[in-house]
Amino acid sequence: MSLPLLGSASCVLDSKRRLTLPAKLREELGLAESGSPVVITIGQGGCLYLFTPETWNQFSPPIFKAVIQGDPKAIRLRTLLAKYGSTPRTDRNGRVSLTEGQMGFAGIQKQLVVFPSWNRVELWSPERFEATYPSATSPAEVDELMAHVDASVSPRKEGDPPA
């Protein structure tokens, strides 16, 4: 099992709308070689998703199954993913190009946040990223969130000692 993709990085697009993926992230994604393909398309919350071919092949089957079953929302989603999607290849400097449509959808101008999110990479405008994922306000907030998730994942049974 591979480790989840974690962290974030502030990046700047060059004049040709190219993003240089951080070297460590390229290594973690298996994109160290020039010409490695990726899938970039729209994502939730107004970001862009960047997938390796392997993760795209895990992400897309439920959508296509729903399309075959005639689900109108799945058909609309598939259409939007295709309309805004691209399959650039990394160049020798680890750069990938974004389309104007992708940048417009995500509100990205020159600066962006590259956010590896477990199994995919999210590309955000800095403003949307902070609004969607605000920084922790205190250790107490993190403790409260951990306790909430722990309680919902592992509810206590009668007779269990207090946590």
User: Which two structure tokens, joined as six digits, stand for 142?
Assistant: 């993190």
pLDDT tens digits, 49-62 = 999 999 999 989 88
User: Which two structure tokens, joined as six digits, stand for 72?
Assistant: 């109108």
Arithmetic mean of pLDDT, 36-59:
94
pLDDT at 156 over 70: no
What pairing do the DSSP bridges indicate for beta strands 39-42 and 111-117? Answer: unpaired
Please state, in angstroms and rounded to a whole number, the distance separating the CA atoms of residues 22 and 111. Answer: 14
Q: What is the mean pLDDT of the chain?
A: 89
pLDDT at 140: 93
Q: In which band, very low, low, confident or very high, does the pLDDT at 3 lie, cut at 50, 70 and 90?
A: low
pLDDT at 1: 36
pLDDT at 4 over 80: no
**Quick one: what percent of the chain has pLDDT higher than 90?**
63
In DSSP notation, 28-73 reads HHT--STT-B-EEEE-GGG-EEEE-HHHHHHHSHHHHHHHHTT-HH
In a 3-state reduction of DSSP, which class is residue 12? strand
What is the CATH T-level fold of the domain 9-153, as seen in this structure? Answer: Chemotaxis protein chec (3.40.1550)
